[in-house]
Chain A
Amino acid sequence: MTENVEVPKELDATIQSMDNRFHDIVTLDDRKSYTGYLVPVENLIDFATSIRDDLGYDYLSSVTGVDYFPEEKMEVVYHAYKTSGGGALVFKVQIPREKPEVPSLISVFPGSDFQEREAWDLLGIRFSGHPNLTRILMWEGFEGHPLRKDWKEPFFEEEKKPYKNRWPEGGVYRIEDEVPMGKNVKYPLGFDPQKWTPEEQTTFKEDMDSEAGDNGSNGSAMHTDQIVVNLGPQHPSTHGVFRMVARLDGETVVDLYPEMGYLHRNHEKIGERNTYIMNMPYTDRLDYISSMSNNLGYALAVESLMGIKPPERTEYIRVMMVELTRIVSHLWSIGFLLNDLGAFFTPALYAINERELILDIFEATAGSRMMCNYLRFGGISRDLPDGILETVRELVNERLPRKIDELDTYLTENEILRSRCIGVGVLSKEDAIAYSAAGPVLRASGVSYDVRRADPYSIYERFEFDVVVRYNGDVYDRYLVRMEEIRQSLRILHQVVRDIPEGEIQTGKALYQVRVPAGEAYGRVENPKGELGFYVVSNGKPNPWRYHIRAPSFINLTALGKMCKGEKVADVVAILGSIDIVLGETDR
Chain B
Amino acid sequence: MTEGLNNPDIPIPDELAGSIAITTLDKIYNWGRRSSIWPMMFGLACCAIEMIATAASRYDLSRFGMEVMRPSPRQADLMIVSGTVTKKMIPVIVRLYNQMPEPKYVLAMGACASGGGPFKEGYNVVAGVDKFIPVDVYTPGCPPTPQALLHGLITLQKKIDKQSILKVNWYRKEAIPAIPIPILGPDLIDPRDYEKIRNLPPVQEESTAEA
Contacts and interface: CB of A to CB of B under 8 A. Distances in A.
Interface in A107-153: 137-139, 141-143, 146, 152-153
Contact of B56 (A187, A188, A349): A349
B202 A270 contact: no
B30 to A, nearest CB: 29
B92 A180 contact: no
A184 B185 contact: no
B126 A184 contact: yes
A445 to B, nearest CB: 28
A175 B122 CA distance: 12
21 contacts: A137-B124, A141-B185, A157-B121, A175-B121, A181-B196, A183-B190, A184-B127, A185-B187, A191-B200, A193-B185, A193-B191, A198-B183, A233-B89, A241-B92, A261-B86, A262-B89, A265-B124, A266-B122, A270-B118, A273-B121, A348-B56
B42 A371 contact: no
Interface string B54-70: 01111000000000000
Given A178-B208, A345-B55, 7 more contacts: A139-B184, A143-B187, A179-B208, A184-B127, A266-B122, A352-B58, A369-B145
B120 interface: yes
Given A139-B88, A181-B193, A153 B121 contact: yes
Interface string B27-56: 000000000000001111110111011011
A192 interface: yes
A414 interface: no
B83 A263 contact: yes
B86 A180 contact: no
A504 interface: no
B88 A261 contact: yes
Contact of A269 (B48, B71, B88, B122): B122
Given A154-B123, A263-B83, A234 B187 contact: no
A281 B52 CA distance: 22
- The prevalent SS among residues of A at the interface is loop
A558 to B, nearest CB: 20
B183 A193 contact: yes
A234 B92 contact: yes
B123 A266 contact: yes
Contact of B211 (A138, A175, A236): A175
B211 A178 contact: yes
B92 A192 contact: no
A221 interface: no
B18 interface: no
A469 to B, nearest CB: 29
Contact of B49 (A181, A184, A266, A370): A370
A353 B49 CA distance: 13
A264 B185 contact: no
A546 interface: no
Nearest to A356: B58
B189 interface: yes
Interface string B2-28: 000000000000000000000000000
B142 A371 contact: yes
Nearest to A336: B52
A370 B46 contact: yes
A402 to B, nearest CB: 18
A265 B187 contact: no
A156 interface: yes
A156 B205 CA distance: 10
B88 A186 contact: no
A584 B47 CA distance: 11
B194 A194 contact: yes
A193 B194 contact: yes
Given A240-B43, A240-B48, A353-B58, A266 B124 contact: yes
B46 A265 contact: no
A449 B145 CA distance: 36
A176 interface: yes
Interface in A238-271: 240-241, 261-266, 269-270
Contacts of A179: 207-208, 211
A511 interface: no
A265 B84 contact: yes
B86 A263 contact: yes
Contacts of B209: 152, 156
Contacts of B211: 156-157, 175, 178-179
A138 B50 CA distance: 27
Contacts of A261: 86, 88, 124
B56 A192 contact: no
Interface in B69-108: 71, 73, 83-84, 86, 88-89, 92, 96
Given A178-B211, A233-B92, A583-B45, A138 B193 contact: no
B143 interface: yes
B197 A289 contact: no
A285 interface: yes
B89 A241 contact: yes
Given A236-B71, A241-B44, A180 B201 contact: yes
B125 interface: yes
A194 B37 CA distance: 40
A157 B145 CA distance: 31
B186 interface: yes
Contact of B121 (A187, A270, A353): A270
Q: Which 9 A-B pairs have the closest CB atoms?
A: A266-B122, A143-B186, A178-B211, A288-B46, A153-B123, A352-B56, A236-B71, A265-B119, A185-B187
Nearest to B50: A370
B167 interface: no
Given A139-B184, A282-B118, A152 B48 contact: no
Contacts of A138: 88, 124
A1 to B, nearest CB: 27
B123 A146 contact: yes
Contacts of A288: 45-46, 49
Interface in B102-139: 116, 118-127, 131
A194 B211 CA distance: 29
A196 interface: yes
Interface string B144-172: 01000000000000000000000000000
Nearest to B58: A356
A142 B186 contact: yes
Nearest to B116: A184
A337 to B, nearest CB: 14
A382 interface: no
Given A157-B121, A181-B196, A349-B57, A264 B86 contact: yes
